[in-house]
Amino acid sequence: MPATVLVVGGAGFIGSHTCVELLQHGYEVVVVDDLSNSSPHSLERVAKIADTAVPVLYVMDIRDRSALSEVFRAHPIEAVIHFAAKKAVGESVGMPVEYYDNNVGGTTALVSAMREHGVRRLVFSSSCSVYGNAVKVPLTERDPVAPTNPYASSKWLCEQILTDVCRRVPGMNVLNLRYFNPVGAHPSGLLGEDPRGVPVNLMPYMSRVAHGRLARLRVFGDDYPTVDGTGVRDYVHVMDVAEGHRVALQHLDDEAGMRTFNLGTGVGSSVLQLIAAFEDATGRRIPYDVTDRRPGDVAALVADPTAVNRAWNWSTSRDLAAMCRDAWHFQSRNLAGYAD
Ligand code: UFG
């Protein structure tokens, strides 16, 4: 019997790419997603790429505890990957209660259901944003955390909750992955990032500008203490992030309790550097204006990926050019996203 993995938020950007990776490696996949920022069509694309049946999808909010219990009852779930969260930094500043309610409340409901049904293995999606205004980059997992916005705080709270649960519940193993900035798409052009409405993140926004669906990119601030004054991030290909989750599942039982790893490349790129890389990779021009800083943003976040490299003998392998090329390939083949 193949192992069954519950992928919470599996119709979303990172979740859907991870489903492909798991199906291609023989896992059985069950998806829970509220579709608030994702499309069920992504799972049809997942099945097409992996050449399997479309994964079972439960459209529901994980805070609906009885519905969630039903899912655990219906499938022999051996491990859970929890992607589901609201994730826009700027938006979180304006709606903190919704962010805590959704991200923290969703995580406690999920962990309760896992405990109730004896499931003890979890891979959790955290974020580099927990580090806040980093004093220096690259960041190791031992560097202090200092979230600067409700999104980041919600992820940090979840980390603390999971740490406490691991101390309390015998046999509970959690791999807490702090992603840096996942971008790009499946190289087939079938699967990619398709946020609802106007994108808030840089790469999907830029792809739509390249395509002419949005007029100009706004560069949020050029007065940061960085190479060219614009924000520096560690962009990591979503295929590497997906692969990282598959490898994480294999390492869940290496050690008991809660373990935290950065998931990034170790390479930082400024907004202007990403624009230049995108223009090089796609041959498209990106018109932009420099505007004020975005509330809640920080100057630079770059991973030191040494810990994960050593623990799993694994590292990311795709560069910025591939991230831009694949993001653009998806965008140009799917003019209206999955609605096409
Ligand atoms: N930026 C712009 N213009 C835009 C959008 C972003 O200049 O239109 C800048 C931001 O100021 C920042 C950089 O581009 O310097 C990256 O911003 P993103 O919004 O793409 O991503 P964040 O760094 O804010 O990261 C957040 C979360 C991560 C998550 C990521 C992608 O902190 O956990 O979004 O969802 F991975």
Give the global pTM.
Answer: 0.97
Tell me: pLDDT of 1 over 70.
no
Tell me the average pLDDT across 118-145: 96
Determine the average pLDDT of the residues in 158-169: 97
pLDDT at 137: 94
- CA 71 / ligand 1 centre spacing (Å): 33
pLDDT at 336: 85
Mean pLDDT over 284-304 rounds to 95
From 324, 327, 325, 266, select the one nearest 300 (Cα to Cα): 266
Determine whether the shortest distance from the Cβ of 306 to ligand 1 is under 6 A. no
Look up residue 175 and give its two tokens: 């791999």
Instruction: Estimate to the nearest angstrom the gap between the alpha carbon of 150 and the chain centroid.
Output: 17
Tell me the per-residue pLDDT of 75-95, one tens digit each, with 9 for 90 and over: 999 999 999 999 998 899 999
Q: What average pLDDT does range 168-192 have in this prediction?
A: 97
Task: Please determine, for residue 187, whether its predicted confidence score (pLDDT) is greater than 90.
Answer: yes
Task: Write the DSSP symbol of residue 305.
Answer: -
What digits encode the pLDDT tens for the residues 25-79?
Answer: 999 999 999 999 999 999 999 999 999 999 999 999 999 999 999 999 999 999 9
Domains of the chain and any CATH numbers: 4-183+235-264 (3.40.50.720)
- Is any ligand 1 atom within 6 A of the Cβ of residue 315? no
The residue among 61, 58, 87, 75 whose CA lies nearest residue 114 is: 75
For ligand 1, whether the C-beta of 21 sits within 6 Å is no
- The DSSP code sequence of 105-153 is HHHHHHHHHHHHTT--EEEEEEEGGGG-S-SSSSBPTTSPP---SHHHH
Q: Whose CA is nearest to atom 19 of ligand 1?
A: 201
* φ/ψ (deg, to 5) at 146: -165, 75
Mean pLDDT value across residues 119-145 = 96
pLDDT of 202 over the 70 cut? yes
Q: Which residues contact 236 (CB under 8 A, 6 or more apart)?
A: 179, 180, 181, 182, 183, 263, 264, 265, 303, 316, 323
Question: Average pLDDT in the 176-194 region?
Answer: 97
Over residues 153-173, mean pLDDT: 97
Evaluate the CA torsion angle 253, 127, 303, 217 in order and state its sign.
positive
Q: What pLDDT, on the 0 to 100 scale, is given for residue 340?
A: 59
129 lines ligand 1 (CB under 6 A): yes
Q: Which range has the worst mean pLDDT, 87-96, 170-179, 228-237, 300-309? A: 87-96
151 belongs to the catalytic site = yes
pLDDT digits (tens, 9 = 90+) for 232-286: 999 999 999 999 999 999 999 999 999 999 999 999 999 999 999 999 999 999 9
Atom of ligand 1 nearest to the CA of 182: 36
| Nearest of 170, 237, 195, 257 to residue 18 by alpha carbon | 237
Measured in angstroms, how far is the CA atom of residue 4 from the centroid of ligand 1? 33
Cα–Cα distance between 83 and 9 in angstroms, integer?
5
